[in-house]
Structures are given as C-alpha cells and as structure tokens.
Amino acid sequence: MWFADVALDIPTRALDGCFSYAVPPEVAASFGEDPDAVRSGLVGMTVLVPFSGRKAIGYILGASEEPPRGLDAGKLKMFEQVLAPSAFDEVSAGLIRWIKEGYASTLADAVHPFLAPGQSVRVRKNDQTGHWELVQHAAGPRDVRWAELAPDAADFVPRANASKQKGVLKALSEGPCRVAELEALLPGASSAIRTLASKGVVRIFQERELRELEETTLSSASAKRPEHLTEGQKKALSAIAAAQAKGAGDVVLIDGVTGSGKTEVYLEAIEKTLAEGHSAIVLVPEISLTAQTVGRFRSRFGDKVAVLHSRLSQGERYDQWDLARKGIAQVVVGARSALFAPVHDLGLLIIDEEHEASYKQDSAPRYHAREVAAELAKRRGAALVLGSATPSLESLWRCREGSFRGAQWTRVEMPERPGIAELPAVQIVDMASQFSHGNKSIFSEPLQEALDQVVEKKQKAVLLLNRRGFANFLMCRECGCVPECPHCATALTYHERTHSLMCHSCGRSWPIKAYPDPTTRCPNCGSRYLAQFGVGTQRVEDELRALLPDNVTVVRMDADTTKAKGAHEALLEEFDNAECAVLVGTQMIAKGLDFPEVTLAAVINADTTLKLPDFRAAERTYDLLEQVAGRAGRGEDPGKVIIQTYWATHPAIEAVRTHDKETFVECELEARSEAHYPPFSRLSNIVLWGKDARQVRELSIECAEAVRKKIGSRSGWEVLGPADCVKAKVEDRYRRHVLVKSPVEADAGRLLADAVASLRKPHGVSLAIDIDAYDLL
C-alpha cells in the first residue's frame, strides 16, 4: 500500500502542511513494481481528495510505502481521482517546501509555479462520465486529425458520381494529410472521409502538433562563433567548469562591461553542458530581450531550445513546457518563471542581467529568482552563473565573503570588449545650466548636435526616459491643483495621443474633456489654465519627429506601445531594418539589446529614479545609466553617451562618466553598512491594505506589535513603522506597511509568518509578507 503527502489548494495559512492520504492500488500499480518508479510517478500529481465534507484539489509532495508515523493506516482516506499527471519531481517538491518557509507563503502558492501552464485550480464534474476533471482553459497538447489510405484502399472503387470520395482518394494517394487541409482544398471532404473510414478504406488518426512560435528577423538574433575568446571569457569559462565539476551549487558572477561577450560565455558553457548530457536554464529580465536571446541560442542549438514567458499563449507555453518535460528541449530560455521548467538532469543555471529588480516576484509566492536559483543549483548539483555589467551589491558582497549558504561565490571580471570595440565616451550635461542660458527644449544643445551627426552619418541612436506618457501631470497655473486619480493617491499622467489622463497605478483613464467635468477646467478652482508639467516618452517621440528629417525612423517602446502580443519584437525589427533611426523608450530598451549601428545613447532625464524614496535609488540609477550607455559603440564606429541631469555631481552619475564602478560600490556599501540595509541585513516588508482606512491602520499597529513581541531580544533585528506606504492608496484601497530588518542568516520568513498568524484580520483587510523586499513604494 502506498501513501501520499498532499498539499491542499485551499488559500489559507491555517492549513500549513501536507495531509496524508492512501493511494488507490490501481494508481500505484500503473507505474509498475519498482518503488522508485512508483514514487516518481506519484510525486507531482494533481489529485482530487475528500476534505472536510467537500472535494478539494491537492498536489502530491511525497509518497511512501510506509504509513505516516502515529496514524492508523486503515483509517486514512484514499484520494479519489488523478486530475493531472506528475508536473515535478522529489527535488522540486523539496524546493517547494523551501520556498514556502523562506518566503512566508502558503504551500499551495509555492506549488503553483511548478505546474503545467494553463493548469487551473478549479474542478468541475463531468455530467456524462460523473468524474471530476481539471479545468484546463484550452491549454494542453493539441491533437490534429489526419487521414491516410488503409491497406484495403487499393481494391476499393467508388461510385461513378462520388466525386468527393474520388478527390479524397487522389489526395491521399500522395501520402497522409491533415483533415483540415483536405476540407480547405475540397469543401465537404470531411463527410467523404467519414464514409470512406466506415468502409475501411481510409484510416483516421490523431497526431500531436506543436503550436509554432514566431521567428524573429532581428540581425542581432544570431550567434556567430568568434575566432578567438578574450582572456576574460576564458577565465569565466574556466570558473564555470570548476563549479560544474564540483557539483555543489557553486555560483560564478561574471562582472563584464557592456559588450564584453557574456552571451558567448553562456553559449560555450551550455555547449559543454549539453555534451555531458545535462540541461540548462537561461533567464532574461525583459520580454523584449527574449526574441534576441532565443534567436542566438537557436542559431547555436537549434530545436533543443524551448521558450517560456508570459507573452506566449497558454497553449504555446504548454507546448514549450512539455518539450522540456519530455527531454526534447535541453535548453530553456525565458523570463523569471522559466526557472521552474521541468528540465531533465539540470547542469547549468544562467541569470543574465542578474541585478534587475524584475527577478523579484511581486505576487505570492514573493520569491527572488536569484535566491531560488541558488537553492535549486545546490539541490540539483548544478552550477549557477550570474551575469551583469552592473552586478547587484548583494552578489558583489557575497563574492567578497567567498561563500554564502554553503555555496562558493566566485567573481570573474571581463573588463574589455572583443575586437576593436571600446567603451563609449560619456558626457554629462547640466540641464540647469542649459535652462539658464535660454535653452527651454527637452534636448540640450550637445544632444541636438549629436542627433544631427547621427542623421548626417545615417547611424542610429537610443534615447531613454523612464517615464511614459506625454506629460507627468497637469497643474492649475492659478491654484496649483494637480488632478489625481480618485481611486489612487497618485497624480494622473497626461497622454496627448489619446487626449486623456491616465493613472499608472490602477490603469484607469479619463478623456481630458470629461475630467472632472465636461469642460477642461481645474477641478479645484474652475480655472481653464491647466499647464503640462514634466516629460514622458510620448512627448519625446513627438519632439523628435519635429526635430529630425522625415527619412529618420522614430520608434517608441514603452508599456503603452508594447501591450499587444509580439509588439516588442515588431518594434525592434522596425528599428533594426531602418537605415537611420532613433529608438526612444523606458528602461526596457536599456539592457541587453545589441545593435552595432547604434553610436549614440542618451538619457533625457537621469533624475527620475535618483530621487525616489528608496535606499536602492542610487544603485538603480547607476545600473540604468551604465546599461543604457552600453548600447552605444558596439560596432566599428565609436560610441557616444549623453546624460542630461539636474544633479551632475551625484556619485552615481559621476561613476558612469568615469566608468569607475568600484568607487561607487565602495561608497554605497559604506552607506548601507551604517544604516544596516542589504546586503548587510535582510529587509522584509509587511504590507496591509483595505477599503476601510481605520481598520487598516489598527491592524498595522497590531501587526508591528506582534512582530516586536515575536522578535523579543534577538540581536540584529529592527522593526520600522507602521507607516503609510508611499503609494498610500491604490484602487480605492488604503495601504500601510511595516519594515523589518533582520540578520543575513536569519529565517525571517518563518518568524514573520508565525507573528502574523496570531492576528485577527477584519473582513476586507489583506496582508502580505514580502521577504527580501525590492518594491518599498
């Protein structure tokens, strides 16, 4: 008799662990008599179980022939039905428990990333069979009907007037054909095929068909093998090989300047990994980079590459996930969620642009991909490679320490670009000085001159402004009123193309003539003098079109222009195919893109991230500026970078100008150490929200008191707050938070989960624990 540990998919922290169920004998027998095969087949299954008088979905995290200790095996209930086959193995089941404990999530939330794409958590009863079934939302394998001639077809003679049957037989005489294609060629063929099949003349069968993914035409989406590797690339490959040989989850941080050839290191390391019979996972931070990265990897590894990201349809994601599960695809490339792909015999994990905040999940389970990848590498005996031109301070500090959580951390520097390419010269432009000399344009004189040179030489430029829309906000020139979203505590952004005000927190928008009344008057004093303040990407695009000749292509990439499926790739292809072009956009254009024709990179306003109320503001600004600077000068022509700012003396901006990363890092580490911020501590954020401001405030006070009581006299812990969030109201919900600093080695997830478990949450108030928090707004 087999027994299973089942995690129930019921959203409550009260059900904190697994429940024991007996396995129906016929289910266990279907995997044979080998105990390892049975255990492997059971773990990862989705099953229907009886629980507290109702049906519930559960996931098997463990299986054993021994009954649970302390329980009467004869009294255990059996699970009733298998709803979906195994989606993960025992190692992943252990990682699920680790995520649940480490990130204070429910067990069910920790399971969800490992399930097949499209698998729903709902069940319904099939009226015809009486069985409960999993609702798949159309995801799953797509079987296509085919037709072919049967052995008796040679002796069959259709009636003289059976023209459709004759047409079908003639078509199938050339070989098997899809029924849908026959129907398209010969309308009414389906009926003739059914008739012929009933007579044994034609055989109808189903065959799996993969949903085709669009191929990119980007010139940068190919990976030609270089004649020689740089010394930095050789050192990186040597370090990766040593980490793989050790098989202990060691980490290699590749600290390489932009354009230093980190991708070639990844490709060479994966090639060696595949040759040894292992698989690899590669994570990229932006969907906009996926097409370029996938193209490069497929140019080297062909159909062994699978793709996983959120812009694919559920069916496309399922097909790619299934290729990995079946071992057909040995390299999985994708965004954060690709980390959980069911690859066989994982040997190498790669996280490109590892400093990116997008690797932090902002919904349950709120994991950080870097931390989960490190734990996964340790459990699989694989190596983890982190790559960036601007590594996170956490990764740099761990490399200085030499080890972290039982794994060795090694930093390899790649300070040079291959061939004749050099790092571009950086010019800082003080916009206050420009304004005082009469230049009211959003483009400084140096930038205008540089754009003229780009047009003259028919080259390309990249312009960054990390704020979408036409103007940041409208303001009444008489009373100073700024129209705000009535549902959120944020100013509305003006979008000139749609002539509307949009909230970038909740996504609502209002036509300008309908907010707040049928006229365009100030909602406070009624004045008609509403002025546009600030600059967004939409306005930059309009100004560029007015400034540059008509033969220059201007492409805008931001959240507004990339909503549709395939929009990222289409816009990049438009930029790539143009003879002379300017790409303007938000931070999605600042990293990873490789266009040799780009000789100018510019930042319209470097201060947008610098003045955010976040201790990581300087680090994020430096990362963004250094990354966008790296888009220029990757080809034969030298590159130039222009950064416009009102804070030209800031250390982050000065470090970009001089390409002196170490000085900036030392300054930041010293400041973080004094304030006891990461990497010298762990920072957790407990966020509470609800429509009743009083209830949210009272619960936040109780929460802070509960955490302080739980911490007691523990050394190295500090509780800040409660206080209103910077975004104090979003979608009609008031938001407050409690920040908790803890020692690096502390089990913050378990302690905070225990602390909030004692709280009695009023109806309508929600609470979330974010361990290793990145978004503090």
Could you write out the DSSP letters of every residue in 187-218? Answer: TTHHHHHHHHHHTTSEEEEEEEEPPPPPPP--
| pLDDT, tens digit (0-9, with 9 covering 90-100), for 100-109 | 999 999 999 9
Integer Cα distance of 171 and 182 in angstroms: 8
User: Has residue 605 got a pLDDT over 60?
Assistant: yes
Is 43 within 8 Å of 93 (Cβ atoms)?
Answer: yes
- Nearest by Cα to 680 from 393, 445, 422, 427: 393
Integer Cα distance of 711 and 101 in angstroms: 17
Across residues 592-598, what is the average pLDDT?
80
DSSP state letter for 78: B
Chain centroid to CA 719: 30
Is 622 within 8 Å of 390 (Cβ atoms)?
Answer: yes
pLDDT band for position 265 (50/70/90)?
Answer: very high
Give the domain ranges of the chain: 3-134, 142-209, 231-414, 425-468+536-674, 475-529, 682-770
Return the bridge partners of 687, or none.
737, 768
Q: Which two tokens stand for residue 173?
A: 């005489």
Helices and strands per DSSP (H, E), number in the chain = 22, 33
Q: Which pLDDT belongs to residue 563? A: 79
Q: Cβ neighbours of residue 508 under 8 Å, at least 6 residues apart?
A: 485, 487, 502
Give the pairing type, strands 279-283 and 331-334. Answer: parallel
CA 315, 317, 319, 325: dihedral to nearest 10 degrees?
Answer: -140
Tell me the three state secondary structure of residue 91.
Answer: helix
DSSP string, 37-67: HHHHHHTT-EEEEEETTEEEEEEEEEEESSP
pLDDT band for position 515 (50/70/90)?
Answer: very low
pLDDT band for position 338 (50/70/90)?
Answer: very high
Give the pairing type, strands 500-502 and 331-334. Answer: unpaired
User: Has residue 471 got a pLDDT over 60?
Assistant: no
Integer Cα distance of 180 and 527 in angstroms: 64
- The phi and psi torsions of 106 (rounded to 5 degrees) equal -75, 160
Could you name the CATH architecture of 231-414? 3-Layer(aba) Sandwich (3.40)
Which runs of E-coded beta strand occur in 65-201?
Answer: 81-84, 123-125, 132-134, 142-149, 177-178
Cα of first residue to Cα of last residue in the chain, in angstroms, is 53
Return the bridge partners of 735, or none.
689
Integer Cα distance of 725 and 464 in angstroms: 28
Across residues 240-258, what is the average pLDDT?
95
Integer Cα distance of 629 and 625 in angstroms: 6
The pTM is what? 0.83
- The phi and psi torsions of 741 (rounded to 5 degrees) equal -95, 140
Q: Which of 162-171, 535-544, 717-726 has the highest mean pLDDT?
A: 717-726
Of the candidate ranges 277-286, 591-600, 695-704, the one whose mean pLDDT is the lowest: 591-600
User: Has residue 288 got a pLDDT over 70?
Assistant: no
Q: Do 142-209 and 425-468+536-674 come out as alike in CATH topology?
A: no
H-helix or E-strand containing 234? helix 231-246
Q: Which pLDDT belongs to residue 391? A: 94
Integer Cα distance of 107 and 101 in angstroms: 9
Integer Cα distance of 486 and 729 in angstroms: 10
Tell me the three state secondary structure of residue 279.
Answer: strand
User: Has residue 626 got a pLDDT over 80?
Assistant: yes
| pLDDT, tens digit (0-9, with 9 covering 90-100), for 386-436 | 999 999 999 999 999 999 999 999 999 998 887 766 788 899 998 888 888
User: Has residue 665 got a pLDDT over 80?
Assistant: yes
User: Has residue 516 got a pLDDT over 60?
Assistant: no
Across residues 650-656, what is the average pLDDT?
91
- The phi and psi torsions of 47 (rounded to 5 degrees) equal -130, 160
pLDDT band for position 492 (50/70/90)?
Answer: confident
| pLDDT, tens digit (0-9, with 9 covering 90-100), for 3-16 | 999 999 887 766 77
Question: What count of residues does the chain have?
Answer: 777
Q: Which amino acid is at 551?
A: N
Indicate left, alpha or beta for 681 from its phi (over 0: left) and psi (-120 to 50: alpha). Answer: beta
Q: Cβ neighbours of residue 671 under 8 Å, at least 6 residues apart?
A: none
Q: Which amino acid is at 684?
A: S
Fold of 142-209: Arc Repressor Mutant, subunit A (1.10.10)
Tell me the three state secondary structure of residue 647.
Answer: coil
Q: Cβ neighbours of residue 73 under 8 Å, at least 6 residues apart?
A: 1, 3, 22, 67
Is 294 within 8 Å of 282 (Cβ atoms)?
Answer: no
User: Has residue 555 got a pLDDT over 70?
Assistant: yes
Q: Cβ neighbours of residue 669 under 8 Å, at least 6 residues apart?
A: 393, 397, 679
Is 451 within 8 Å of 600 (Cβ atoms)?
Answer: yes
Which runs of E-coded beta strand occur in 289-379?
Answer: 305-308, 331-334, 346-352
Mean pLDDT of the residues in the chain: 86
Across residues 52-72, what is the average pLDDT?
87
3-state SS, 712-729, equals CCCCCCEEEEEEEEEEEE
User: Has residue 17 got a pLDDT over 90?
Assistant: no
Higher pLDDT, 490 or 584: 584
3-state SS, 598-640, equals EEEEEECCCCCCCCCCCCCHHHHHHHHHHHHHCCCCCCCCCCE
Is 626 within 8 Å of 658 (Cβ atoms)?
Answer: no
Q: How many CB atoms lie within 10 A of CB 476?
A: 20
| pLDDT, tens digit (0-9, with 9 covering 90-100), for 339-374 | 999 999 999 999 999 999 999 998 999 999 999 999
Indicate left, alpha or beta for 113 from its phi (over 0: left) and psi (-120 to 50: alpha). Answer: alpha
Q: Cβ neighbours of residue 23 under 8 Å, at least 6 residues apart?
A: 1, 2, 3, 4, 42, 63, 78, 79
Integer Cα distance of 68 and 273 in angstroms: 40
User: Has residue 382 got a pLDDT over 90?
Assistant: yes
User: Has residue 158 got a pLDDT over 60?
Assistant: yes
Integer Cα distance of 491 and 680 in angstroms: 35
- Nearest by Cα to 424 from 182, 643, 163, 711: 643
pLDDT band for position 179 (50/70/90)?
Answer: confident
Is 197 within 8 Å of 204 (Cβ atoms)?
Answer: yes
Integer Cα distance of 102 and 99 in angstroms: 5
For the 425-468+536-674 domain, the top CATH level (class) is: alpha beta
Q: Which pLDDT belongs to residue 518? A: 39
User: Has residue 711 got a pLDDT over 80?
Assistant: yes
Across residues 228-240, what is the average pLDDT?
94
User: Has residue 137 got a pLDDT over 60?
Assistant: no
Q: Which pLDDT belongs to residue 28? A: 92
Integer Cα distance of 20 and 77 in angstroms: 8
CA distances from 565 to 291, 571, 704, 709 (A): 12, 12, 43, 49
Q: Which pLDDT belongs to residue 569? A: 81
For the 3-134 domain, the top CATH level (class) is: alpha beta
Is 430 within 8 Å of 605 (Cβ atoms)?
Answer: no
- Nearest by Cα to 536 from 569, 504, 568, 564: 504
Is 196 within 8 Å of 168 (Cβ atoms)?
Answer: yes
pLDDT band for position 521 (50/70/90)?
Answer: low
- Nearest by Cα to 177 from 142, 207, 140: 207
- Nearest by Cα to 681 from 713, 705, 714: 714
Tell me the three state secondary structure of residue 280.
Answer: strand
DSSP state letter for 154: G
User: Has residue 111 got a pLDDT over 70?
Assistant: yes
| pLDDT, tens digit (0-9, with 9 covering 90-100), for 188-220 | 888 888 888 888 888 888 777 676 666 666 656
Give the pairing type, strands 251-256 and 425-430. Answer: unpaired
Indicate left, alpha or beta for 636 from its phi (over 0: left) and psi (-120 to 50: alpha). Answer: alpha
User: Has residue 469 got a pLDDT over 80?
Assistant: no
| pLDDT, tens digit (0-9, with 9 covering 90-100), for 741-768 | 999 999 999 999 999 988 988 999 999 9
Integer Cα distance of 118 and 126 in angstroms: 19
Is 245 within 8 Å of 400 (Cβ atoms)?
Answer: no
Q: Is 584 exposed, middle or buried (0-12, 13-18, 19+ CB in 10 A)?
A: buried
Q: Which pLDDT belongs to residue 212? A: 66
Give the pairing type, strands 251-256 and 407-414. Answer: parallel
For the 682-770 domain, the top CATH level (class) is: alpha beta
- Nearest by Cα to 388 from 357, 362, 360: 357
